[in-house]
Amino acid sequence: MNAPAPSPKISLRDVHRAFGAKVVLAGVDLDLAAGESLVIIGGSGTGKSVLLKCILGLLRPECGSIKIDGAEMVGIRAAERERVVRKIGMLFQGAALFDSLTVWENVAFGLVQAHGMSRRAARAVAATTLAKVGLGADVMELRPAALSGGMKKRVALARAIATRPEIIFFDEPTTGLDPIMGDVINDLVVSCVRDLGAAALSITHDMASARKIADRVAMLHGGKIIWSGPVAAIDHSDNPYVDQFIHGYAQGPIQMEVLAP
């Protein structure tokens, strides 16, 4: 007799979301298994960030089901949502560091606010976590405004992993970085996810990043997941949309809205 398949960390079924007349998500079905690194690819404006925000509860889907560890998130009470969200860490595209706090206070924020750790203990954890992402004690007292783009991303990564979350979301982790710094961030993402044993859900349109950090890739287009498979299979997907996207061809089934001058 086969053992029952482990329940997914995140499970989406028939998720819909529109903004006025513009339908962004039109029935998304997706599963993220424990310990898996799933990358969602897709063009700009295809709803990747909206999908992440729906899972986090920052946006409410019009219909469908979103489950985290089996708990239904759509329509959940705020206090219960806060409890579930404690399992999640998030790296934002623009880092979203708190301007009014120092680097170490940013990293320690979740430990102090959500986990009730003392500031002294949280500062020690922040120093250790910053070291994991390659930042020394000399940046701890700096404000985010004094950091470069790559350093901000590292601090944001440290903040995302400081609470040792079971699930980590990465929103365009390499956008706006030079290729070398992008690769450094990709390596950090892989090592942090592996160290924590966390499930990772990333969204990107950077194929180099996707190939490096993904176990499995899913493509979002037209509001639906149109292809999903192991990262090694992406070059042989036999899906014309995936082929066009990963090779970056202007010609193909994906028509970009380009206004002629």
Spatial contact of 140 and 128, defined as CB atoms under 8 Å apart: no
Which lies closer to other proteins via its Cβ, residue 165 or residue 234? 165
Closest CB 97 distance from other proteins, rounded Å: 8
Which lies closer to other proteins via its Cβ, residue 58 or residue 208? 58
Burial (0-12, 13-18, 19+ Cβ within 10 Å), 120: exposed
Which lies closer to other proteins via its Cβ, residue 104 or residue 169? 169
Residues pairing with 65 in the sheet: 13
Closest CB 104 distance from other proteins, rounded Å: 15
> What is the separation, in whole angstroms, between the first and last Cα of the chain?
65
Which lies closer to other proteins via its Cβ, residue 143 or residue 224? 143
Q: What distance in Å separates the CA atoms of residue 13 and residue 30, rounded to the nearest whole number?
A: 7
* Residue 96 backbone phi and psi in degrees, to 5: 55, 40
Which lies closer to other proteins via its Cβ, residue 83 or residue 236? 83
CB atoms within 10 A of CB 27: 16
Q: What distance in Å separates the CA atoms of residue 199 and residue 121, rounded to the nearest whole number?
A: 26
Can you give the binding site for other proteins, defined by CB under 8 A? Answer: 53, 56-58, 78, 82-83, 85-86, 88-90, 92-94, 96-100, 109-110, 113-114, 159, 169
Name the 3-class secondary structure at 240.
Answer: helix
Closest CB 19 distance from other proteins, rounded Å: 12
Closest CB 159 distance from other proteins, rounded Å: 8
Closest CB 85 distance from other proteins, rounded Å: 5
Closest CB 77 distance from other proteins, rounded Å: 12
- E strands, 20-164, where? 22-32, 37-41, 63-68, 71-72, 88-91
Which lies closer to other proteins via its Cβ, residue 99 or residue 238? 99
